[in-house]
Amino acid sequence: MSEHRRRRRDEEEARRMEIERRRRIIRERKRRQRIMRQRMILAGVGALVLVVGGAVIGTSIHKKNEEKQAKKIEEQKKKEAEAEEANVLHMVAVGDNLIHSAIINAGKEQDWNFDFLYDNIKKDIENADLASVNQETPFIKDHDKASGYPDFATPTEVGDALVNAGFDIVTQATEHAFDQESDGITDSVEFWSKNYPKIKNLGIHGKDGEDRYQIIEKKNFKIAVMNYSSLVSENHSIPAKESYMVDTYSEKNIKEDLKKAKESADVSIVYLHGGKSDAEDSDKKLQEKIDFLAEQGADVVICSHPHILKKYGKITRPDGKEMLVYYSLGNFISHQSSLENLLGGMAEFTLKKDGKSGEVTIEESSLVPLVIHYNEDFTQVGVYKLSDYTEALAQEHKIHKEDEKAEFTLAALKEAADKVLMPVNGSVEETPDETVDKDKELKGKTVNPDSKSKNKEEKESDQTDKKTEQKTLDKKKVEE
């Protein structure tokens, strides 16, 4: 082979190897680029995963924080609501639980169980924070001694029924408190103290020297409650040595009681038994007593005895604050037989306490009409809210047998109720100090301000204006 051809062949081989080398370089570069791209893609995916994962985790953490915060806010709201609720007290009160013979016999037929009397309004009583009833008649243990008018003696099972209905406060300083004399007081006091010590029994005492008021602690409230009667039945005198058994109306005692009670209580409620029986017009003597209570700083006054439903409202006390007054809640249960006597009422009012100042105000007040129902043979007896009463029940009422001319209809009941459902507000002027100091304690045979004799009333008014150490006043019997 010539030198020239050999050289050419070597050159071509060198060129081919160079080309191959360059191809290898290009392939390697592409491989590296591909690997780099893959790495970049993986890095991007990884970064994306991290970002998304971080976002998810962040969202989850944020959500948990939000849930935790929401739960914390909810718990705070709940605590605030509970604190607010603890500063609101809803109370109800009803009138005279006047147990006549027909009602006693109806309970006897039920094996001495009287729950049926209150079944129709039990829910309203139970739903209240505190509920009170005026137990007009004294209790007696012996069923054989149970009796109605005029010398009432009520089976203790009526007390069981009141507790079962949900009542917390029972007032017993009434016209008939001493109908069974000291036995009735003793049986009543022992019944409550032995069987239901948590029930506040007001107005009567088994021992001398007991406080005439009691303090109830409910929610964030301390409520002073007390009960006085301005009359007792003419059939029975209270001996001086037993005068402590019934809390009778005395300005001296009331002034002392309210002053002392208000030192430890933030609201005071006075249950006052008195006024003209069956009289729709205003009662000057009762109003004087109410005005005196306003002067002494009472916050609520609930009156009983007139046996008919009367007005209610607020009056402005001399200190500028308001006092709520229910002038008469009428009968709660009785066998009286006129539309007026069969229409009663349930007082409803709400007290609110300022969490910072501790001041208590009366936020709401109303009057719920009630109807006493009993049929001809007393197999159906009980109290209804007027809103639940029907025309059919009204026509089944025994009143139509006792008085064929009686206009006892649902419409007539509503018309009568409408007359007292609107609150009446007013004010009281401050009475001179000498009036405040008068002692009107009723001892022995006690006055009945309900006497309808004009001359009698005028005579009693003259006596009231005189300052005396002690007074014994007469009472003209008012038939229940």
313 burial (CB, 10 Å; 0-12 / 13-18 / 19+) is middle
For position 447, what pLDDT does the model report?
33
Query: pLDDT (tens digit, 9 = 90+) per residue, 70-118?
Result: 777 777 777 666 678 899 999 999 999 999 999 999 999 999 999 999 9
With beta carbons less than 8 A apart as the criterion, state whether 381 and 103 touch.
yes
Residue 13 lies in a domain: no
Shortest CA distance to 249 belongs to which of 440, 434, 436, 437?
440
β-sheet bridge partners, residue 224: 215, 268
With beta carbons less than 8 A apart as the criterion, state whether 225 and 134 touch.
no
d(CA 298, CA 213): 13
For position 108, what pLDDT does the model report?
97
Domain boundaries, position 230: 87-442+455-464
Query: pLDDT (tens digit, 9 = 90+) per residue, 427-478?
Result: 554 444 433 333 333 433 333 333 333 333 333 333 333 332 333 333 333 3
For position 382, what pLDDT does the model report?
98
Residue 476 lies in a domain: no
Residue 23 lies in a domain: no
With beta carbons less than 8 A apart as the criterion, state whether 228 and 269 touch.
no
In the chain, % helix, strand, coil (3-state, to 5) comes to: 40, 25, 35
Query: What element of type H or E holds 338?
Result: none
With beta carbons less than 8 A apart as the criterion, state whether 187 and 142 touch.
no
Q: What is the b/e burial string over 148-166, where b = at least 16 CB atoms within 10 angstroms of the residue's CB? A: bbebbbbbbbbbbbbebbb
For position 427, what pLDDT does the model report?
58
157 vs 465, more confident: 157
Query: pLDDT (tens digit, 9 = 90+) per residue, 176-195?
Result: 999 999 999 999 999 999 99
- Residue position matching structure tokens 């009056």: 315
Least confident piece of the model among 52-56, 69-73, 298-302? 52-56
Residue 392 lies in a domain: yes
For position 459, what pLDDT does the model report?
36
Residue 411 lies in a domain: yes
For position 71, what pLDDT does the model report?
79
CATH number for the domain including 196?
3.60.21.10
Residue 60 lies in a domain: no
Shortest CA distance to 164 belongs to which of 194, 186, 196?
196
Start-to-end CA distance of the chain, whole Å, equals: 159
Provide the number of structural domains found in the chain: 1
pTM over 0.85: no
- Assign 279 a pLDDT band (cuts: 50, 70, 90): low
Residue 341 lies in a domain: yes
For position 65, what pLDDT does the model report?
80
Residue 68 lies in a domain: no
